[in-house]
A and B are shown apart, each in its own frame.
Chain A
Amino acid sequence: MQKKISSIPFNGTAEQEAKLKEIIKKHKDDPGAVMPVLQEAQEVYGYLPIEVQTMIAEGLSVPLEEVYGVSTFYSQFSLTPKGQYNISVCLGTACYVKGAGKIIERISEILGIGAEECTADGRFSLTACRCIGACGLAPVMTVNDDVYGRLEVEDIDGILAKYMA
């Protein structure tokens, strides 16, 4: 899958950097540490800009290309920042058969952004995700940690309005 790379300047804080150093220290001697460190680093920064990947490579003493190879391989790692509200629409089979395509189209229309994009004000980002395993409630979408199931296209405006206020 092609990854979008952020053009927004990096502005990590000293506090975040201290946390990252802590994470690197914790995993330094584990075999196969790159993935767990990237996962925890993404929790700290919200995404994985090249600056963070460089710090990880140096900290773990592995080549940057190896870190970059891993971060671009797995879909969970994001090289672009997420919006304040990240909307994730499930496009797994069960949801797709039940019309998830129309749901994502409507959201796209309202927000004016496509999948894997973020609105200019940084408020909303949109992701098309694979099965989240809530197939019994298909079609499903999540806004940060809130889950919305058994969706109809007509529900979308109301749901988004809650977060626009």
Chain B
Amino acid sequence: MYRSNVLVCGGTGCTSSNSELIIQKLKEEIAAKGLEKEVNVIRTGCFGLCALGPIMIVYPEGSFYSMVKVEDIPEIVEEHLLKGRIVTRLLYQETVEQDTIKSLNHTPFYEKQKRVALRNCGVINPEKIDEYIAMDGYAALGKVLTEMTPQQVIDEIKASGLRGRGGGGFPTGLKWSFAAANEADQKYVGCNADEGDPGAFMDRSVLEGDPHCVLEAMAIAGYAIGASKGYIYVRAEYPIAVNRLRIAIDQAHEYGLLGDNIFGTDFSFDIELRLGAGAFVCGEETALLTSIEGKRGEPRPRPPFPAVKGLYGKPTILNNVETYANICQIILNGAQWFKDMGTEKSAGTKVFALGGKIKHTGLVEVEMGTTLREIVEEIGGGVPGGRKFKAAQTGGPSGGCIPASHLDVPIDYDNLIAIGSMMGSGGLIVMDDTTCMVDIAKFFLEFTVDESCGKCTPCRIGTKRLLEMLDKITKGQGTPEMIDEMEKLCYYIKENSLCGLGQTAPNPVLSTLHFFRDEYMAHVVEKKCPAHVCKKLLQYKIVEDKCRGCTACSRVCPVGAIQGSVKQPHVIDPNKCIKCGACMEKCKFNAIIKE
């Protein structure tokens, strides 16, 4: 028994800010004080509050240290772990209220959250199967194999109302029943961990923080549809997740929880890892299956759906990581428990990756039906730097931008589609008034043009033409007619593309056109970028009465575009100016403005 447990986040975010060194230093200091039999150091998965990483929690007190530095460790060990005096100065300040220290669960970031898929992340050591088992791990698989028929499992998942968390929102139980109904000598269970949306890292955190919950759920799915083999297709860009999955698979084998005759029954199931190689289209289910077969990850027409003819032509189900993370809890707590959370048509919770211009970047899990305002303002702490919220982008390159006027819409699958965006896998990027919506649309189109696999023409050529038009608009060469033409092309691409990538690629353009049309018009009519982002439409100017004639700007200008004598107001020659912004950064008197 240890008297203290120190949990240090070993997720990608905190590892990037040196949590490994912190763990090493902690162990050294603890050994130097002879406390190694009393204090246990545990490397966990993601706590969610990545903005404040590296993060460390000391139990039993539950003291939450944020932005920990290696230099702080000797003090924490000496004061807190040896003498029992919490180092208040280094705590997450939201937990400190005058003289008392609040529980982490009562801080605004955690209070509104409901953790189902993330319940073990940041709580257990993901590299130890025993810790997972202690949290009821593999109990669901045991229950399924010894007390339930495959049909009962499918019925339970159906009744729970669980829908695919990868973005599409297809009812999971229904998908399983299709694959179960098809007779075949071999069936497959796939896990889509090719989290390609830029700005989304929910699946990575689940895999890093709780890999066994995915393995267990895949085995349950295998039992339900009659498959004996599973594949996890995971991005090679997630080395920590890949490594922990490998460890988890080995340990599950060792305990007889994967392999032949699991729990002494005649059910056998095995899981293999496949690494992606950086192709966004492989998040699309048919492309992913083609990629597992070792080919170019090009999508196939549907039907036939994978449940009929999938991997190597056999019935296959493919679910997203977060979908699997809910399965075991549904089996253990019952379908009704799950259905009671969320909204009528979208049961349960959803994990979002908060990013962009928001105070608490990180991972949050909330009940479906929570409003965007609650997520952005209460949990996320709002937009920093006194700037104004402009839009939230959900669904990545397939989604859209939600403006401030829709902040109070309860988030679920259907509501987001109704306002021209989509749930997507859960990336949620907040933008403030310094973000240009035309530029953002262009950013996403650059992405889709790059990632279009080229198999079908509407997507390959259509997205390229769209990008060209957007490029012209940001350079001041657009016309109002071009905007109408763009809109027409968007619908054409949506209706005629082969797979989900092309069918959703125009969404960022359509949604910004819908909500921010005036911004597009400003670009094409007045040739101005209201957010001052599009370089070609900018002009740097010196405000005469603010300029002291210090010459700092004219000295830093790389092209000699600024003229003026000492102590006299300076002037920028717009014909020479290359709009690099160096003068504006240098000016101490805020005399240089962008227009």
Partners in one complex: yes
What chain A residues lie within 8 Å of B440 (beta carbons)? Answer: 97
What chain A residues lie within 8 Å of B295 (beta carbons)? Answer: 32, 34, 66, 69-70
Which residue of A35, A94, A96, A147 contacts B16 across the interface (Cβ within 8 Å)?
A: A147
What chain A residues lie within 8 Å of B196 (beta carbons)? Answer: 130-131
User: In the complex the two chains form, what is the Cα distance from A74 to B447 in whole Å?
Assistant: 14
Q: Contact: B12 with A133, CB < 8 Å? A: yes
Segment with Cβ contacts to B, from A16-24, A79-87, A135-143, A156-164: A135-143
What chain A residues lie within 8 Å of B268 (beta carbons)? Answer: none
Q: Contacts A130-B280, A137-B16 hold; do A31 and B312 have CB atoms under 8 A apart?
A: yes
Q: Is B238 engaged at the interface, CB distance under 8 Å to the other chain? A: yes
Interface residues on A, range: 35 or more
What chain B residues lie within 8 Å of A94 (beta carbons)? Answer: 198-199, 355-356, 361, 429
Q: How many A-B residue pairs have CB under 8 A?
A: 137
B352-374 Cβ-contact flags toward A at 8 Å (1 or 0): 01011100011000000000000
B37-79 Cβ-contact flags toward A at 8 Å (1 or 0): 0000000000000110100000000000000000000000000
Q: Contact: A35 with B291, CB < 8 Å? A: yes
User: In the complex the two chains form, what is the Cα distance from A74 to B312 in whole Å?
Assistant: 21
Cβ < 8 Å to B, chain A residues 83-120:
91-94, 96-98
**B290 to chain A: closest residue by CB:** A32
Listed residue (A130, A132, A136) with the most chain B CB atoms within 10 angstroms of its CB: A136
**B430 to chain A: closest residue by CB:** A97
Q: What's the least CB distance linking A83 to chain B, in Å?
A: 19
Q: Contact: B237 with A132, CB < 8 Å? A: yes
What chain B residues lie within 8 Å of A1 (beta carbons)? Answer: 450-451
Cβ < 8 Å to B, chain A residues 39-88:
39, 66, 69-70, 73-77
Q: Contacts A73-B297, A97-B435 hold; do A133 and B238 have CB atoms under 8 A apart?
A: yes
User: In the complex the two chains form, what is the Cα distance from A94 to B53 in whole Å?
Assistant: 17
Q: Contact: B296 with A73, CB < 8 Å? A: yes
B174-197 Cβ-contact flags toward A at 8 Å (1 or 0): 000000000000000000000111
What chain B residues lie within 8 Å of A70 (beta carbons)? Answer: 294-296
User: In the complex the two chains form, what is the Cα distance from A144 to B57 in whole Å?
Assistant: 30
Q: Is A33 engaged at the interface, CB distance under 8 Å to the other chain? A: yes
Which residue of A32, A38, A134, A147 contacts B292 across the interface (Cβ within 8 Å)?
A: A32
Q: Is A12 engaged at the interface, CB distance under 8 Å to the other chain? A: no
What chain A residues lie within 8 Å of B294 (beta carbons)? Answer: 31-36, 70
What chain B residues lie within 8 Å of A91 (beta carbons)? Answer: 198
Q: Contacts A35-B291, A74-B279 hold; do A133 and B355 have CB atoms under 8 A apart?
A: no
Q: Is A149 engaged at the interface, CB distance under 8 Å to the other chain? A: yes
User: In the complex the two chains form, what is the Cα distance from A62 to B274 in whole Å?
Assistant: 20
User: In the complex the two chains form, what is the Cα distance from A129 to B237 in whole Å?
Assistant: 10
Q: Contacts A97-B431, A134-B13, A136-B53 hold; do A35 and B199 have CB atoms under 8 A apart?
A: no
**B279 to chain A: closest residue by CB:** A74
Q: What's the least CB distance linking B42 to chain A, in Å?
A: 21
Q: Is B278 engaged at the interface, CB distance under 8 Å to the other chain? A: yes
What chain A residues lie within 8 Å of B280 (beta carbons)? Answer: 130
Q: Contact: B356 with A97, CB < 8 Å? A: yes
**B237 to chain A: closest residue by CB:** A132
Task: Please give the residue numbers on chain A whose beta carbons come within 8 Å of chain B beta carbons, in ascending order.
Answer: 1, 31-36, 38-39, 66, 69-70, 73-77, 91-94, 96-98, 129-138, 140, 147, 149
Task: Please give the residue numbers on chain B whose beta carbons come within 8 Å of chain A beta carbons, in ascending order.
Answer: 12-13, 15-17, 50-51, 53, 195-201, 204, 236-238, 274-280, 291-297, 312, 353, 355-357, 361-362, 393, 396, 427, 429, 431, 435, 440, 443-444, 447, 450-451, 453
18 contacts between A and B (CB under 8 A): A32-B294, A32-B295, A33-B294, A35-B275, A38-B277, A73-B296, A76-B277, A93-B429, A94-B198, A97-B440, A98-B356, A130-B196, A130-B198, A131-B198, A131-B201, A132-B237, A133-B200, A135-B50
